[in-house]
Amino acid sequence: MNTTERPVPRWAYRLAHAIPFLTLPSGLWRLGLVFGSSMGMLGTDGQPAYLVGFGGKVYVVCLTIFSELVALTALGLVQRWGEIAPGWLPLIGGRRVHPYAAIVPAVLGSLSLIAIWTFAFRDVFTDHFIPFSSPGWKALMITCYAPLYLWGPALLVVTWAYYRRRVSAPAAVVSAR
């Protein structure tokens, strides 16, 4: 049940809920590294490249969890807690969220995600990309990471819907009866 001040468009609600699923395949792929698979990656010596050391594994797990948590923040753009801060939050609990306090970070995050993933995979279809033991392993990695290309644009579109609903929509007319 949606309890926002103004109705959230159904498409925006669905897209916001889809965003965390865009990060999930890459996270699962990374967890394969944590559990001892090379995921087909090769080192500079042409041998399978494994994630070594406890610190590296903790880092990859934390990166995966952090990515999912950041993706889940998109839900704030279509939920009541994106308009009124939850009461359990210190200092701001129960207060109205100024629309631009959500819009500015969401837009900057969207643009950053677009830049990050465009740069990170600029060489994906060249010989300058990560070496893999077979085309199948490379295809799996690309398939798992390709949804990340949509994360930034999807967040930008959901942010636009939030802006339209919270900032540019005309104020509700209150009857004086």
- Mean pLDDT for all residues in the chain: 92
Model pLDDT for residues 134-152, shown as the tens digit of each residue: 999 999 999 999 999 999 9
Token pair 């500015």 is found at 104
pLDDT score for 14: 98
Q: What is the Cα Rg of the chain in Å? A: 20
Element (H, E) at 160: helix 148-163
Let me know if residue 112 belongs to a domain: yes
The Cα 43–Cα 174 span in angstroms is 67
Q: Which amino acid, one-letter code, is at 78?
A: V
Full domain range(s) for residue 145: 10-80+98-165
Let me know if residue 89 belongs to a domain: no
pLDDT score for 177: 41
Average pLDDT over residues 150-168: 96
pLDDT score for 176: 42
Between residues 127 and 146, the one the model is more confident about: 146
Let me know if residue 108 belongs to a domain: yes
pLDDT band at 127 (very low <50, low <70, confident <90, very high): confident
Let me know if residue 86 belongs to a domain: no
Let me know if residue 55 belongs to a domain: yes
Let me know if residue 37 belongs to a domain: yes
| pTM listed for this prediction | 0.88
Q: Is the pLDDT of residue 99 over 80?
A: yes
Tokens linked to 46: 């042409």
The Cα 49–Cα 39 span in angstroms is 8
pLDDT band at 171 (very low <50, low <70, confident <90, very high): low
Q: Is the pLDDT of residue 164 over 60?
A: yes
Let me know if residue 126 belongs to a domain: yes
pLDDT band at 2 (very low <50, low <70, confident <90, very high): low
Total domain count, the chain: 1
Q: Is the pLDDT of residue 13 over 70?
A: yes
Model pLDDT for residues 27-77, shown as the tens digit of each residue: 999 999 999 999 999 999 999 999 999 999 999 999 999 999 999 999 999
DSSP 8-state assignment for residue 124: T
Angle CA 155–161–163, to nearest 5:
100
The Cα 19–Cα 162 span in angstroms is 15
Let me know if residue 42 belongs to a domain: yes
